[in-house]
């Protein structure tokens, strides 16, 4: 541990600095300070040594030169053991603590400041002091975050004015990350002013996972520094360790329900929706999401967009004596759980229960790391540009608008080429009935969606005329495509299943042929004007 006998305080953000300075005075510490900081401290009766008395030079050039000097940097940097004799000869008195935060370059940029103002808000002396103190953390403490003041005050009081090596090491790492981030925002802003796009990313807190996508791969989970919200902050309330694949699917599950206004329930398997429903009550939504593909729902990630109640989760029958009736899922994600619901879910000892609010999961950009390169794009947040019926057969898009929007939201979460079939089961109950995902041929995706819908309808039907039932449900369903139909063959396939409404963006050079096929087969087609590829 080192005793703090002499501290240098120079801060742009004055929050909490008086309380810290008072504590330093209470332990008998000399405080050296600069301009505005010195004034704030002296106004509260705290005695301060003006920095010019240490540097031997006045503050100059409108404050551009204050702390940079041989005397200041030497007092921070010299090795207290091997350099002690030389420091004494040079009359260098050690500085044991540096408290410094930097000119608010990022805030000034966000305010829309002009280029000259940005330049004036590039701190030079601050990063120099911070880096010097961080390098010499063996003998010097460095504090650059206001949120750390309280911890430092407590440690100084508890340890007779001393700071531990462990604390100094933590502060050192934080300091170097801080100056790295500071330089990064300046560098990218200067590139931006030169009409050149650059990006620098900072991720922290790497958690080692059991393994990666497969058991022979290592896996880690990081949090992006400086972000207010992150999936990294989710609360795991119960169950086995969250895996790499779980995390990927949890993100997909959250995305599938975050844009649903009423009670929404989504199920994700291998990054694709295998169940999605929206209703006026949560249990109904869960029942119909599960019915959208009961087989694939086994071992899925289930997400809710609203707090979960006991009545809802009893649907899983986790404590049914007949184990064959228990519904197995890997993870349940929701903004919150009632005490009774949580207790019920905990009956399954391995079930991962995750608390995270989908409404917080709204990123402005999407990124994908390629070989030593990065793809970046705006997030896909817009559903459609229009709802234009382009065929002879017409539908009332205002009456069908909510179901079409549900279909677009469902389709947007399915890997391209994406085809989904959605229906209104009963008034206000919307269900993903079938989907085809990730096929290089759109026609195959269409067939897969129809086959899955037929399978689900057959499983749910309890009558004698299944053909009539399939025909009825397909007539009432809507087929939604993530991109235009390049050929009429998708329309023919849909017609053979009995589908009478198709929603797609349009924009193909063969749109006229596709529309003619719809007219010949008495199908209504709606153009949205907006594609939704998801690779």
Which positions are annotated as active-site residues? 135, 270
3-class SS at 340?
helix
* Ramachandran bin of 209, using left for φ above 0, alpha for ψ from -120 to 50, beta for the remaining angles: beta
Q: How many CA atoms lie within 13 A of 276 on its CB side?
A: 32
d(CA 475, CA 496): 11
Polymer length in residues for the chain: 535
Query: In a 3-state reduction of DSSP, which class is residue 495?
Result: helix
CA angle, residues 439, 361, 109, in degrees to nearest 5: 115
Give the span between the Cα atoms of 423 and 288, in whole angstroms.
11
CA separation for the pair 239, 11 (Å, rounded): 45
Q: What are phi and psi of 270, to 5 degrees?
A: 50, 45
Distance CA 412, CA 77 (A): 56
Contact present, 421 and 477 (Cβ < 8 Å): yes
Query: How many CA atoms lie within 13 Å of 169's alpha carbon, on the beta-carbon side?
Result: 4
First to last CA, the chain: 54
Q: Which of the 8 DSSP states describes residue 249?
A: H
* Main-chain phi, psi angles of 95, to 5 degrees: -105, 125
In terms of Cα–Cα distance, which of 74, 213, 64 is closest to 132? 74
């Amino acid at each position: 541990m080192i005793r703090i006998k002499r501290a240098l305080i120079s801060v742009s953000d004055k929050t909490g600095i008086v309380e810290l300075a008072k504590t330093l005075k209470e332990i008998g510490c000399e405080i050296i300070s600069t301009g505005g900081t010195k004034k704030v401290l002296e106004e509260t009766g705290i005695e301060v040594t003006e920095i010019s008395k240490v540097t031997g030079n006045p503050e100059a050039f409108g404050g551009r030169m204050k702390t940079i000097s041989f005397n200041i940097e030497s007092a921070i940097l010299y090795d207290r053991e091997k350099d002690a004799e030389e420091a004494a000869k040079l009359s260098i008195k050690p500085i044991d603590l540096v408290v410094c935060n930097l000119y608010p370059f990022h805030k000034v940029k966000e305010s829309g400041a002009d280029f000259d103002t940005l330049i004036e808000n590039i701190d030079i002396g601050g990063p120099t002091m911070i880096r010097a103190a961080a390098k010499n953390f063996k003998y010097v403490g460095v504090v650059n975050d206001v949120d750390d003041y309280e911890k430092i005050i407590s440690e100084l009081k508890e340890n007779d004015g001393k700071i531990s090596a462990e604390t100094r090491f933590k502060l050192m790492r934080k300091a170097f990350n801080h100056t790295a981030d500071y330089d990064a925002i300046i560098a990218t802003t200067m590139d931006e002013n030169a009409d050149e796009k650059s990006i620098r990313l900072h991720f922290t807190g790497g958690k080692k996972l059991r393994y990666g996508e497969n058991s022979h791969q290592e896996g880690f989970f990081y949090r992006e520094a400086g972000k207010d919200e992150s999936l990294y902050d989710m609360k795991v309330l119960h169950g086995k360790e969250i895996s790499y694949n779980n995390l990927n699917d949890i993100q997909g599950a959250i995305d599938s329900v975050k844009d649903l206004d009423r009670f929404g329930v989504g199920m994700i398997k291998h990054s694709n929706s295998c169940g999605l429903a929206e209703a006026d009550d949560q249990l109904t939504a869960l029942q119909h999401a599960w019915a959208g593909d009961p087989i694939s729902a086994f071992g899925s990630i289930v997400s809710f967009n609203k707090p979960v109640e006991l009545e809802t989760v009893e649907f899983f029958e986790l404590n049914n004596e007949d184990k064959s009736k228990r519904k197995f899922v890997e993870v349940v994600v929701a903004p919150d759980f009632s005490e009774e619901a949580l207790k019920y879910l905990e009956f399954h000892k391995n079930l991962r229960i995750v608390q995270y609010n989908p409404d917080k999961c709204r990123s402005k950009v999407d990124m994908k790391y390629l070989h030593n390169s990065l793809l970046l794009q705006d997030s896909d947040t817009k559903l459609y540009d229009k709802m234009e019926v382009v065929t002879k057969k017409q539908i009332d898009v205002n009456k069908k608008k909510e179901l079409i929007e549900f279909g677009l939201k469902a389709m947007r979460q399915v890997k391209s080429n994406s085809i989904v079939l959605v229906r209104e089961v009963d008034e206000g109950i919307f269900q993903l009935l079938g989907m085809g995902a990730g096929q290089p041929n759109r026609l195959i995706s269409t067939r897969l969606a129809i086959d899955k819908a037929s399978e689900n309808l057959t499983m749910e039907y309890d009558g004698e005329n299944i053909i009539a039932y399939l025909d009825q449900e397909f007539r009432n369903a809507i087929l939604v495509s993530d991109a235009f139909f390049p050929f009429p063959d998708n329309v023919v396939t849909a017609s053979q299943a009995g589908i009478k409404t198709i929603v797609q963006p349009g924009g193909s050079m063969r749109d006229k042929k596709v529309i003619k096929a719809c007219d010949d087969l008495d199908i209504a087609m709606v153009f949205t004007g907006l594609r939704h590829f998801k690779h």
